[in-house]
Structure 1
Amino acid sequence: MSQLTFKQKQAHYEKIRRSNYLASLRLAGSDTSPADLEKPLRTREEALAKHRQEELPPSALPPKPDGQ
């Protein structure tokens, strides 16, 4: 069996990490495709901005049941 270089190991683990991340997105209900493995990830600022746009206003939340 040939020995892998450090760079090869890094590339392999990065690919597995990305695959696991996309799998978690699918489990959370997001639409993903195998092509997403090659797309660059969003920056933290882009992700926060998108999350802030998708937040529901307080008036859109269901009312609390009586007694709470």
Structure 2
Amino acid sequence: MPNVSLKVKRAYFAKVKQANYAASLRLEGMDTTTTSRPLSSKAAVLEKYRQN
């Protein structure tokens, strides 16, 4: 069995943790499709509300 670096282990754990969290939300009936899009930057949000 090849040695796996700590960085690879952490990346795998993060991926599995996110997948499990998304599955848990789906089981609770929540829509997870909107959580996968990137969030806006603080500057973009401030600019949007300053225009109004």
Task: State whether TM-score is above 0.5.
Answer: yes
Give the Cα–Cα distance (whole angstroms) in 2 for the partners of residues 24 and 10 of structure 1. 21
Task: State the Cα distance separating 1:39 from its structure 2 match.
Answer: 5.0
Q: Which has the higher contact order (CA 8 A, sep 6+)?
A: 1
Q: Unmatched 5+ residue regions in structure 1?
A: 41-68
Q: Unmatched 5+ residue regions in structure 2?
A: 40-52
Give the root-mean-square deviation of aligned CA atoms: 2.4
More helix by share: 2
Q: Could you tell me the TM-score, scaled by structure 2's length?
A: 0.59
Rg larger in structure = 1
Give the Cα–Cα distance (whole angstroms) in 2 for the partners of residues 10 and 17 of structure 1. 10
Runs of 4+ in 1 over 3 A off after TM superposition: none
**Matched residue pairs, number?**
38
- % identical aligned pairs: 39
